[in-house]
Amino acid sequence: MAMTDLVMIKTAIEGLKLTSDAFRYLRKVSTESEVIDKINSAVKQVNDAQEAFFNIRETLFTLQEENHALKQSLADVEKWESMLAAYEVVVTEGEGLVFKSKESPLRYACPSCIQIKSIQFLQDKKSPDGSFVCDGCKNSYYINPKKTYRPLNPKTIF
């Protein structure tokens, strides 16, 4: 659609240029002032029409650029939403509130980083408190249950 619009505008501008040139030639060769007045009036109208087409062409360019930018941001939003759709919010065994992948491999994602549209995986620190750390913001989340150590029975020590 946009390409044919541009071609039509270009054709119109070229046609008006030829018309303007023809009027200028007539003005040069005319001797009667009444005819010259009419030609001057016609030249002015052709110039106004050219100006209008230049403005239309500029507006069309601007609209095409805006259209391109909007399509790009829509594509970005759709890409983000499809990435986010692969996760769900869960409460973990360690009672952390995080995003978890719906499909394998099982992975957890940081809820803070998702707020800024970045999916960052949580890495298992293998610590006794069951926490994982975010690759991005370095926040910790309790994923696995805490390991509880049974106190040693003094009777079995000796």
Near Zn ion in 115-144, by CB under 5 A: 120, 134, 136-137
Per rule CB under 5 A, count of chain residues that contact Zn ion: 7
- Closest to Zn ion by CB, 111 or 130: 111
CB contact at 8 A, 132 and 140: yes
Contact status: 16 vs Zn ion (CB under 5 A): no
Cα(109)–Cα(154) distance, integer angstroms = 43
Q: Mapping DSSP to helix (H, G, I), strand (E, B) and coil, where does residue 150 land?
A: coil
- Closest to Zn ion by CB, 46 or 110: 110
Contact status: 94 vs Zn ion (CB under 5 A): no
DSSP states along 64-125: HHHHHHHHHHHHHHHHHHHHHTTEEEEE-TT--EEEEESSSSP-EE-HHHHHTT---BEEE-
- Closest to Zn ion by CB, 16 or 110: 110
Near Zn ion in 29-58, by CB under 5 A: none
Q: Kindly list the residues in this chain that would bind Zn ion in the complex (CB under 5 A).
A: 110, 112-113, 120, 134, 136-137
